[in-house]
Amino acid sequence: MPLKTKLATALLAILPLWITAQEHDTAHVGIHQAESEYYSRIADSLHSAREISPETPSLLKSRNAGTLTHKIYGWHPYWAGSTAYLYYDYAALSHIAYFSYEVDTATGGYTTLRGWDTTPIISYAHSRGVKVTLTVTNFGTAPNTEILTDTVKQWNLINTVINQLQSRNGDGVNFDFESVPAVQKANMVSFCRRAVRGIKAALPAAEISLATPAVNWSDGWDLGALAGICDYLIMMGYNYYWSGSSTAGPVAPVSGENYHIVKSINDDYLADGVPAGKLLLGVPWYGYDWPVVSSARKAATTGTGTSRTYVKALEIAAGKTRIFDDLTGVPYVSYQTTEWRQMWYDDSTSLQLKSNIVKDMNLAGLGIWALSYEAGRPELWKGLKTAFLAGYTSSGEGPPAQPDGSLRIIPNPVTEASVVRYTISKRSHVTLSIYDTGGRLISSLVGSMIDPGSYTEPLDAGTLDPGIYICVLQTRQGWSAMKFAVIETK
């Protein structure tokens, strides 16, 4: 069978797995809304925002290493612990968005500020060179219609926001209006035009941004027009799979799905006239954990998924077989309790891939949902600094940077014998390994200290079954990966 036919057959065999559970669901609720609604029901049991804890020493506070090359924008949810902000790495942040001012649709004012009026995070971040904006939330078709069809309410909202920014020395506002219906598309543009005009008249330096969907499901967003009005847009590049999905799957796939991050950037944003320099990619510091029918990749769900913060996901994954899904660039684990469960979550490796997208596509920066979900763990902060902090050199912990060297497999596809050619730029411990597409280690070709130079390593296909494999080169400077095919000679 010809190579093209073999590969096409292999792709067709897994294609249904890519498409399942990504059809638009009108009941689909974004993670910002879902978690806001969940925590609002238990708000009385949380640490009060008025509990201002004494500032304690932290290893992760000041920016001494260099200048950020991109905007790094993190939402700080009001349900974060009262001391969570003390453990953020402010060297890796340019903006913090306090979440949130909740709109009163009857007046345009607010039903609650969730502690914006007392939080110590504003002065704390300012003293460390980080801007703080106020997130204004309004969720649902009906609530957005109420605001977007009433200019009196809009001006009350705008003026109230101005007062809040002035009273707390805020640096701007992030409007997070979700489930805007198509019939309000023009009104959303008009509202943003009024908001920018009104806020900047009072506060010329204020930054005004929008949290916008990864996929313009409702056609409620004229993204090109909005980008021309606001300072920047933050694409919420997650929840492609969500709590109600019919199969488990990656909340933020970089590829390998009929909807994924790169497609969203290209088709929903750049193609709609959004300049790359005014677009931030929002990334998840969370995952979803579903009850499923089996351990199979993207198994059918048997119930509602549960969101897991980054630190909780690592706790669940500990001691289990982590599979890095090469098709989508996101890891997952399958495990059993009283039932089969499958959790897809972003970790330091998959988040590094997303940082590379920001740089490769010349985007303005990166957003994070949500700060505090890392619970002070250093590897995500180190990954951000490795990617975006000029002059920063990682101590070796956290996700690696891409190496200077090249990785090639000749010939590719492989029939009987092939060679792996690679270059090492600095003396380093080098591993060269072969994995299958399930993330299982098949063979270790190299594992030793190597001097700088170019090298060739034989690859014997006789030990491999026909199929797709990934060759991974890892050094102290970073890693490279290349996919190759092994085919039968007859």
315 plus 406 within the same structural domain: no
Assess whether 170 and 55 both reside in one domain: yes
Mean pLDDT of 434-455: 82
Query: Lowest mean pLDDT: which of 27-41, 127-141, 258-272, 289-303?
Result: 27-41
Residue 207 lies in a domain: yes
Q: What φ, ψ does residue 344 adopt, rounded to 5°?
A: -105, 130
CATH of the domain at 430: 2.60.40.1930
At residue 477, the pLDDT reads: 66
Percentages (nearest 5) of helix, strand, coil residues in the chain:
30, 30, 40
Q: What is the pLDDT of residue 440?
A: 77
Instruction: Report yes or no on 221 lying in a domain.
Output: yes
| Euclidean distance between CA atoms 440 and 331, whole angstroms | 12
Q: What's the pLDDT score for residue 93?
A: 98
Using the 3D structure, point to which of 320, 355, 388 is the last residue of a domain. Answer: 388
Which of 49, 208, 236 lies closest to 131 in space, CA to CA? 208
* Residues 357, 482 share a domain: no
Last-in-domain residue among 329, 354, 388? 388
> Which of 325, 354, 388 is the C-terminal boundary of a domain?
388
340 domain residue, yes or no? yes
pLDDT in tens, 174-206: 999 999 999 999 999 999 999 999 999 999 999
Distance (Å, rounded) from C-alpha 414 to C-alpha 227? Answer: 47
Tell me if 99 sits within 8 A of 174, measured CB to CB. no
Using an 8 Å Cβ cutoff, are 78 and 117 in contact?
A: no
Same domain, 409 and 315: no
Contact 221, 192 (CB under 8 A): no
Tens of pLDDT, residue by residue over 260-306, are 999 999 999 999 999 999 999 999 999 999 999 999 999 999 999 99
Joined together, the tokens standing for residue 63 give 């920016």
Residue 303 sits in the same domain as residue 445: no
Q: For residues 479 and 122, which has the higher predicted lDDT (pLDDT)?
A: 122
DSSP class per residue in 396-456: S-SSPPPPSS-EEEESSSBSSEEEEEEEESS-EEEEEEEEETTS-EEEEEEEEEE-SEEEE
The set of residues, in sequence order, having a beta carbon less than 8 Å from that of 180 and lying 6+ positions away, is: 141, 144, 148, 188, 218, 220, 221
Please indicate, yes or no, whether residues 293 and 371 belong to a single structural domain of this protein. yes
Residue 14 lies in a domain: no
Q: Total domain count for the chain?
A: 2
Task: Output 475 or 443, whichever has higher pLDDT.
Answer: 443
Please indicate, yes or no, whether residues 275 and 352 belong to a single structural domain of this protein.
Answer: yes
Residues 321 and 263 in one domain: yes
Which 3 state secondary structure label does DSSP give 277?
A: helix
**Could you tell me the CATH number of the domain that includes residue 53?**
3.20.20.80
Asked if 415 and 460 touch (Cβ cutoff 8 Å), the reply is: no
Contacts of 366 (CB under 8 A, 6+ apart): 70, 71, 72, 73, 280, 281, 282, 283, 354, 355, 358, 384, 388
Q: Indicate if the pLDDT at residue 2 is higher than 50.
A: no
Residues 381 and 406 in one domain: no
Q: Are residues 105 and 203 in the same domain?
A: yes
Q: 57: Cβ–Cβ under 8 A, 6 or more apart, which residues?
A: none
CA pair distance 290, 364, nearest whole angstrom: 34
Q: Is residue 156 part of a domain?
A: yes
Determine the Cα–Cα distance for residues 110 and 123; give it in Å rounded to an integer: 23
Residue 393 lies in a domain: no
Question: Is residue 186 domain-shared with residue 51, that is, in the same domain?
Answer: yes
Point out which residues pair with 213 in neighbouring strands: 236
| Residue 4 resides in a domain | no
Instruction: Tell whether 376 and 455 lie within a shared domain.
Output: no
Residue 370 lies in a domain: yes
| pTM recorded for the entire structure | 0.75
Number of helical (H) and strand (E) elements in the chain, helices listed first: 11, 21
Alpha helices in 60-170 (DSSP H): 121-126, 141-148, 151-168
Q: How many CA atoms within 13 Å lie on the side-chain side of 93?
A: 29
Is residue 39 pLDDT above 80, yes or no?
yes
What mean pLDDT is predicted for residues 400-407? Answer: 53
Placement of tokens 């700088």 in the chain: 452
Domain holding 121, by residue range, is: 19-388
